[in-house]
Amino acid sequence: MRQLIRILEGIGSTVLLCVRAASYAPTLPRQFGRFIEQCYLIGYTTMPIVAILSFFIGAVLALQSGTAAANIGPKQFIGLLVGLTMARELGPVMAAVLLAGRVGSAIAAELASMKVYQEIDALETMNIPPARMLVAPRLAAVLAMMPVLTIMADLVGWFGGAIVAKYTQTISIEPASYFATMRQYMDFGDVLNGLVKAEVFGFVVVLVCCNIGLNTRGGPREIGASVTRAVVVSLILILVLDYFLTKALL
Amino acid sequence: MPTPTPIVTPAAVSAPGAAAVGVRIENLVKTFGSFEVLRDISFSVAPGEIFVLMGPSGSGKSVLLKHLVGLELPTSGRVEVDGRDASSPRTREEVRMALVFQAGALFNSMTVYDNLALYPREHRTDDEAGIREKVMRALQILSLENAGHKLPAELSGGMKKRVAIARALVMEPQLMLYDEPTSELDPVMAATITEIIATLKEQYHVTTIVVSHDRDLAFGIADRVGILMGGRLISLGPPEDLRQPRDPRIADFLNPPIDLQNPRFKQLET
């Protein structure tokens, strides 16, 4: 029962924080510096790890499907399979998972530390709402950066699949043929589908991590606990939302 | 032998002209779960007064202070600043209140200069040139001119407290609150901070409430002293009344006897 109350409190405070942060959207133009700083942290610093993981996910997809298809015959559809899977599913999900692990944990740690060391209290006594200064620029930045990360994940994943498809002896498909099936059977709607998911995942991850950080109670030990909670809750939410969004967008 | 430069240079202090505000606390009760931290507290502080609240650790002093800036909400009773409900966010918009936290609560990711400039920048009280002037003046008042570019992690405990006071000063507060300003400081730095508090009150005519254990601070600068014990305000009056207190609890708190034949920790065990 206590656990349920805590979950409901968490949902309530997250929604409240979302509403508060949204109400400060008009202040974003004059927080442009903070927005750019967050874009750098969320986007630029996450790009290398997203690229590496996406490359190998695309490669593994091509390898697995290519090996299986080699026994049946329709190898030319590997491009379509990798393309669709990356665009509609793995691109946004992987970008969001990496965002939770790399950026979400950092956000939760920073805000939890600010809370524990009374910096949040200091902001409030100065009549500077934390939702305005600390949350709104991060939410705006994640909305701006998630499409970039996702498109990059898609492209690198497709490229990784193409390389494996060409150089694996049992598959051996030319990139032209690999990308031809992608072009033939995929359209922009498939990519857009993934971008919508990515925006929702990114927004929820940053919002949840901000809320958990800002609601940290106790001493320095709680900072670590908040970071763990933020990452775990984010990962669960990504997968739960993924199911419902997939169903809604089919 | 050269004369040491005073930390607070009165010549550098120029009153900003903000009107001091009064504080009124009426039947304040605060509970955390089943634990009653503050029990029926009532007192008021006049505009421009220095009020020092003393009491043993855990007696609820800091919790009371947090009620004044709306960081804690009363379980029952009322806290007013300038006649307005302190728990209302509007009060923070209308009355400039500054709280100097015990550990400073400086923003660790910002330089000292940016810590001080944050309030005027966020509230757009001045243009950047005006903000610079205000910040430099506050740094000069607290003899921190050379610390502007430093990060809080590079400062000593005493400097952190002075930066926290300077940051509060930039807000041009009408009500200045200090939470244990002299704790963890050596006697000279504690005396310096005490002088700073008194000088700022003198020059700015700002209402000042200090939570402290420090007898020297209370007897040296307070207009009135309140003693909080077990969540109750058991004494309220001028500091002179406390020099020879009749209440044994207050006498024991202000002048604790050290009795090696009957040590206190043994009493705690039983």
* Residues facing B226 on adjacent strands: B53, B236
**Which residues does chain B have with pLDDT short of 70?**
1-18, 268-270
Is the CB of B73 inside 8 Å of chain A's CB atoms?
no
Cβ atoms of B95 and B82 closer than 8 Å: yes
Please indicate whether, in this complex, the C-beta atoms of A126 and B119 are within 8 angstroms of each other: yes
Among A146-150, A174-178, A237-241, B15-19, the least confident range? B15-19
How is residue A57 written in tokens? Answer: 């996910």
Higher pLDDT: B141 or A241? It is A241
- Give the Cα separation of A55 and A239 in Å (integer): 21
Look at residue B4 in the predicted model and tell me its pLDDT: 46
User: Does B78 fall in a domain?
Assistant: yes
Look at residue B268 in the predicted model and tell me its pLDDT: 67
Q: Tell me how many domains chain B contains.
A: 1
Please indicate whether, in this complex, the C-beta atoms of B71 and A125 are within 8 angstroms of each other: yes
Look at residue A230 in the predicted model and tell me its pLDDT: 97
Residue whose token pair is 């002179």: B240
Which of A127, A133, A223 is most worth mutating to test chain B (most B CB atoms within 10 A of its CB)?
A127
Please indicate whether, in this complex, the C-beta atoms of B105 and A128 are within 8 angstroms of each other: no
For chain A, the structural domain boundaries read 40-249
- Give the Cα separation of B43 and B28 in Å (integer): 10
Of A110, A121, A127, the CB nearest to B92: A127
Is the CB of B71 inside 8 Å of chain A's CB atoms?
yes
Per-residue pLDDT band at A73 (split at 50, 70, 90): low
E strand or H helix that includes residue B32 = strand B23-32
Look at residue B269 in the predicted model and tell me its pLDDT: 65
Cβ atoms of A147 and A99 closer than 8 Å: no
* B119 chain-A contacts, CB cut-off 8 A: 126, 128
Q: Is the pLDDT score of A223 beyond 90?
A: yes
For residue B91, give its domain range. Answer: 15-96+176-181+201-255
Per-residue pLDDT band at A88 (split at 50, 70, 90): very high
Please indicate whether, in this complex, the C-beta atoms of A125 and B123 are within 8 angstroms of each other: no
Return phi, psi of residue B69, to 5°: -105, 10
Look at residue A68 in the predicted model and tell me its pLDDT: 83
* A32 chain-B contacts, CB cut-off 8 A: none
Question: Which spans in B31-103 are helix H?
Answer: 61-68, 89-94
Give the residue-averaged pLDDT of A200-211.
98
Q: Is the pLDDT score of A200 beyond 90?
A: yes
How is residue B217 written in tokens? Answer: 């601070």
Look at residue A53 in the predicted model and tell me its pLDDT: 95
Q: Is the pLDDT score of A164 beyond 70?
A: yes
Among A17-21, A224-228, B227-231, B254-258, the least confident range? B254-258
Per-residue pLDDT band at A66 (split at 50, 70, 90): confident
SS3 B8: coil
Return phi, psi of residue A220, to 5°: -55, -30
Look at residue B15 in the predicted model and tell me its pLDDT: 43
Look at residue B188 in the predicted model and tell me its pLDDT: 87
Give the residue-averaged pLDDT of A116-140.
95
**Chain A residue with minimum CA distance to B90:** A127
Give the residue-averaged pLDDT of A38-59.
95
- The ipTM (two decimal places) reads 0.85
Look at residue B18 in the predicted model and tell me its pLDDT: 59
Is the CB of B171 inside 8 Å of chain A's CB atoms?
yes
Give the residue-averaged pLDDT of A119-134.
95
Give the residue-averaged pLDDT of A97-101.
96
Min Cα separation A248/chain B (Å): 41
User: Does B161 fall in a domain?
Assistant: no
Please indicate whether, in this complex, the C-beta atoms of B107 and A126 are within 8 angstroms of each other: no
Please indicate whether, in this complex, the C-beta atoms of B107 and A128 are within 8 angstroms of each other: no
User: Does B3 fall in a domain?
Assistant: no
> What is the side-by-side strand order in the sheet with B97-100?
B97-100, B175-179, B207-212, B50-54, B224-229, B232-237
Of B249, B237, B234, B242, nearest to B216 by C-alpha is B242
Q: Is the pLDDT score of A4 beyond 80?
A: yes
E strand or H helix that includes residue B38 = strand B35-45
* B108 chain-A contacts, CB cut-off 8 A: 113, 117, 119
* B118 chain-A contacts, CB cut-off 8 A: 126, 128
Look at residue A171 in the predicted model and tell me its pLDDT: 85
Q: What is the CATH number of the domain that holds B76?
A: 3.40.50.300
